[in-house]
Amino acid sequence: MDILEAIRLRHSTRAFDGRPLTEADHKSIASFIEATAPPFGVHARIELIQADFGDERVKLGTYGSVKGARDFMGLIYGEGPLVQEGSAYWLEQVVLHCTSIGVGSIWLAGFTHSSFAKHVKLAPAETLGYACPVGYEGGQRPLAERIGLWNSKKLHAAKKPFETLFLDAEGQPLTPQAAGDWELPLQMTRIAPSAKNLQPYRVVVTPTACHFLIQPSMGIPSGPGWFSHIDVGIAMCHFEQTCLHQGIAGSFQVLDDAPTVPDRQYVISYVRS
Ligand SMILES: Cc1cc2nc3c(=O)[nH]c(=O)nc-3n(C[C@H](O)[C@H](O)[C@H](O)COP(=O)(O)O)c2cc1C
């Protein structure tokens, strides 16, 4: 499966069938983690945690809730510029690898940190930021879905329109037709996972560069913009991996003279080479 197929197939899995990862799949994920690294030289680790929480009251998912997971990827990161973007980029690469081998996954901000903490040794400046259950889709759907309070499929399909997320050099809505060869990388960006499906990033598109901006955090945990740095890192992964696949040469650079967008904070630009 190539990266485009994996991006198109990926969706958040909230019902796992209770089976632990097979030895082959566990090995494949561990080898992929071993062979890759987060971009921008940031400090991050991904720990594969095998945990059967049994009767322990573990919160898995603040809103959708998750059932039947036995294996988890824990994303641990340090401090410094672009650390959330870089570590999110990397975990999303692993998520897409999981999709490509038939392993379902879901990013979780809402999980009981203390239950996971005993499986992970943190250095002083490290944070266990996100847990990502991995396994085989199936089994009973979480109660919230069965009684109709929640619908994973509908949420997956409810991504913001292309013209909302992507803007031209004047800050006006960009159509797919006007995006030129950036269209496919942008389409693949649009379907990336995002906390609460808020998609808080915007991309200003010019022929030579795509500039990524985010909704700034108001400093309120889980409030507006709280997950922006993680969400944009995931979006950047989908974007650059598609560029690599399409042979669109370029690299991420932080520019001094990037365009501005009202109420958005500049993060980084993908500059064509
Ligand atoms: C950083 C991050 C945190 C998330 N946290 C949760 C969570 O706590 N509970 C949950 O049910 N889904 C969580 N999700 C999954 C999103 O709800 C999901 O990506 C979004 O609804 C889009 O659906 P899709 O992933 O199927 O495309 C999270 C996603 C991201 C990227």
Distance 88 CA to ligand 1 centre (A): 13
pLDDT at 144: 87
| Predicted pLDDT of residue 143 | 87
Mean pLDDT for 173-183 is 98
d(CA 89, CA 142): 28
What are the domain boundaries of the chain?
A: 3-146, 159-272
> Distance between CA atoms of 252 and 237, rounded to whole angstroms?
11
Residues with CB under 6 A from ligand 1: 11-12, 61-64, 106-110, 130, 155-156, 193-197, 227, 230-231, 234
| Rounded distance from Cα 183 to ligand 1 centre (Å) | 24
pLDDT at 63 over 80: no
Q: Is the pLDDT of residue 62 over 90?
A: no
The alpha carbon of 231 and the centre of ligand 1 are apart by a number of angstroms equal to: 10
Question: What does the pLDDT look like over 17-59, one tens digit per residue?
Answer: 999 999 999 999 999 999 999 999 999 999 999 988 777 778 8
CA diameter of the chain? 55
Instruction: Say whether pLDDT at 136 is over 80.
Output: yes
Angle separating helix axes 83-100 and 228-246, nearest 10 degrees: 60
Angle (CA) 56-222-155 rounded to 5° is 80
Name the fold adopted by 159-272: NADH Oxidase (3.40.109)
Q: E strands of 41-106, at which residues?
A: 44-50, 71-77, 104-105
Fold category of 3-146 in CATH: NADH Oxidase (3.40.109)
Question: What SS3 state is found at 45?
Answer: strand
